[in-house]
């Protein structure tokens, strides 16, 4: 429905999730937005033939991150004692980066405007990140007297390296789309009018590939930075052998030799 905090739209094998609180710049610390996003991820996982996800924001922002008014007023997840707030982080908001990180379906972040705080984490977790020329990226925690509380220091370091991550987090000032491109935070910058078209084109190209191979490739990409070479080679041998036994692999090589498009069943 139009008033849902996260809109769910499906086109073939591609699902688009739209953060849908434009009047609040899609703030991402209140319970309805967090629960809505987690429910959308569960729905994606339940629909076995989804092959790619696009995440974007409604209105002029991807997401402004935490709701600063709630912080000031000590409401929602910022209510109660220090222990209450710690519990809210551990048992509520931290479910978002865990669930999103562990999703084995390829994800494209189509960043249409500001992506701050936890929203920057969501962008970093995505596999492919493209930005509108109007996008800005920030980790402004120190500007409001707190630190990255949603895994941001870990995610940002993994994407752009320790030095650039430290600069963004400790200075606390946002970077624009072209700077994000230069440091590797995004791979493409698009005009606002072309952003979603670009994202959908990439998503459709992804969705034409063998789905089990795509999910396996994503798992290998996720694991690689934490493995030494021998651990990674061992994992690839196991995963690759399993893929060789799939119906999709047989269909792929048969279609290649017959010079036709493959038809995958995800088996």
Q: What is the pLDDT of residues 9-57, one digit of tens each?
A: 999 999 999 999 999 999 887 788 999 999 999 999 999 799 999 999 9
Strand ranges across the sheet with 136-138:
114-116, 136-138, 175-176
Distance separating alpha carbons of residues 267 and 256, to the nearest angstrom: 18
pLDDT for 76 beyond 90: no
| Residue ranges per structural domain of the chain | 6-207, 211-258
Residue 1 pLDDT: 60
Residue 78 pLDDT: 87
What are φ and ψ of residue 175, in 5° steps?
Answer: -115, 155
Neighbours of 58 (CB within 10 A): 21
Residues 198-211 pLDDT 10s: 999 999 999 999 99
Question: Is 86 strand, coil or helix?
Answer: helix
Residue 102 pLDDT: 92
Q: Residue 138, Cα to own-chain centre: how many angstroms?
A: 16
Q: How confident is the model at residue 225 (pLDDT cuts 50, 70, 90)?
A: confident
pLDDT for 235 beyond 70: yes
For domain 211-258, which architecture applies? Orthogonal Bundle (1.10)
Best CA proximity match to 12, nearest among 254, 205, 250: 205
Residues 87-139 pLDDT 10s: 988 998 999 999 999 999 999 999 999 999 999 999 999 999 999 999 999 99
Q: Structure pTM?
A: 0.91
Distance separating alpha carbons of residues 64 and 52, to the nearest angstrom: 24
Residue 51 pLDDT: 94
Residue 241 pLDDT: 95
For domain 6-207, which architecture applies? Alpha-Beta Complex (3.90)
Residue 55 pLDDT: 98
Distance separating alpha carbons of residues 33 and 76, to the nearest angstrom: 12
- Residue that has been written with the tokens 């969705």 in this structure: 207
pLDDT for 170 beyond 90: yes
């Amino acid at each position: 429905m139009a008033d849902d905090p996260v809109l769910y739209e499906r086109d073939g094998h591609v699902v688009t999730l739209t953060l849908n609180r434009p009047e609040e710049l899609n703030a991402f610390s209140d319970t309805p937005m967090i629960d809505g996003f987690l429910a959308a991820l569960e729905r994606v996982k339940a629909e076995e033939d989804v092959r790619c996800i696009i995440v974007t924001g409604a209105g002029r922002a991807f997401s402004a991150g935490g709701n600063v008014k709630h912080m000031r007023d000590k409401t929602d997840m910022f209510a109660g004692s220090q222990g209450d707030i710690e519990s809210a982080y551990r048992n509520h908001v931290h479910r978002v980066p865990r669930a999103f990180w562990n999703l084995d379906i390829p994800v494209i972040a189509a960043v249409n405007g500001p992506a701050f705080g936890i929203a920057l984490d969501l962008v970093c977790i995505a596999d492919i990140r493209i930005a509108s020329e109007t996008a800005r990226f920030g980790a402004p925690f120190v500007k409001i007297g707190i630190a990255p509380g949603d895994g941001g220091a870990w995610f940002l370091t993994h994407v752009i390296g320790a030095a650039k991550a430290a600069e963004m987090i400790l200075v606390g000032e946002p970077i624009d789309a072209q700077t994000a491109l230069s440091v590797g935070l995004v791979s493409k910058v698009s005009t606002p009018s072309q952003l979603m078209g670009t994202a959908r084109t990439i998503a459709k190209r992804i969705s034409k590939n063998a789905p089990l191979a795509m999910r396996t490739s994503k798992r290998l990409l996720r694991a690689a930075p934490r493995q030494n070479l021998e651990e990674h080679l061992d994992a690839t041998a196991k995963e690759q052998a399993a893929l060789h036994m799939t119906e999709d692999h047989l269909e792929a090589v048969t279609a290649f030799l017959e010079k036709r498009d493959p038809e995958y069943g995800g088996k």
